[in-house]
Amino acid sequence: IHFGVVNLDKPAGPTSHQVSDFVQKILNIRKAGHSGSLDPQVTGILPIALEHATRLSHILLKGGKGYTGIMHIHKKVEKARIQEVLQKFIGKITQMPPVRSAVKRQWRERTVYSLIVHEIEENDILFSVDCEAGTYIRKLCHDVGKTLGTGAHMTELRRTRVTSFTEEGAVTLQDLQDALMLWKEEGNEKFIRHCIKPAERMAEHLPKIWVFDSTVESLCHGRDLAMPGISKLNPFQKDQTIAIMTLKNELIALGTSFISSDDILKNEKGIAVKTKKV
């Protein structure tokens, strides 16, 4: 509870901040924070970090996202033409954030990894999109309509993925409340452990370095990671965010790689990772 994360299925209605507040009240904790807000009417995956795990929320903000939604085009268009236009929005795209947004309004480049049409019924298109963080799906629908020459808008949206958090295993606010009661009243931990995952889940998508036990204490005091302390590692490039782990897969710190994993394997001395957050 004090260093965990809830893979929450957000309902339509409340803001992301209100949902975080509900989780805080249910668990009776001092702090809970979401990672990447959803509009009030949008449903789906909203990981909520608890207590000390809120220090890790920022690593999910920059992670990839997945959505399923319905786009309504304002005039009837041939299916082949719709497919042809949607293909143009896969890869690098530029977007101007909406007027009501939390970021500065300037052209930004984002990557759409996939854009799949599942069904077209009259003027409604059921689609799913996998994209870089910070991609505005409402704006994507608007821009598709503009390219089609018909106009279009988003009518429904559900987030299906935030990095490694998916709909599989997602829980509702009611699930969380019921699981807590079951634990408090009957001592049954099974369901509360299903609802609250270890904070290490938040770093699942990051490249990792595992260190020897003798290195852990110095890292806990904010020391940078030197090469002799490394036991094993994943491939990564220079200047990437790295999760530094114990051999028991406990998260110790986050840092920025000083050199690539290939260079680490070639050297025996020197700094491998600059520690940023313990």
Helix, strand, coil percentages, rounded to 5, for the chain: 30, 35, 35
For the chain, the average pLDDT equals 93
Say yes or no to pLDDT of 45 above 90: yes
Query: For residue 106, with 0-12 CB atoms within 10 Å meaning exposed, 13-18 middle and 19 or more buried, which class applies?
Result: exposed
pLDDT tens track for 133-175: 989 999 999 999 999 999 999 999 999 999 999 999 899 999 9
Q: Is 21 a catalytic residue?
A: no
Cα–Cα distance, 79 to 161 (Å, whole number): 27
Give tens-digit pLDDT for 67-107: 999 999 999 999 999 999 999 999 999 998 776 666 677 78
Model confidence pLDDT, tens digit, residues 202-222: 999 999 999 999 999 999 999
DSSP state, residue 96? P
Report the candidate in 44, 63, 48 with the shortest Cα–Cα distance to residue 157. 44
DSSP code string of 157-182: EEEEEETTEESTT-B-HHHHHHHHHH
- What is the structure's pLDDT at 6? 97
Torsion of CA 148, 151, 152, 153, to 10 degrees: 150
Angle among Cα 242, 246, 252 to the nearest 5 degrees reads 55
Instruction: Please report, for residues 64, 133, 138, 173, 223, the alpha-carbon distance to residue 162 in angstroms, rounded to integers and kept in the order given.
Output: 6, 9, 18, 18, 31
Catalytic residue among 9, 21, 39, 124: 39
First to last CA, the chain: 19
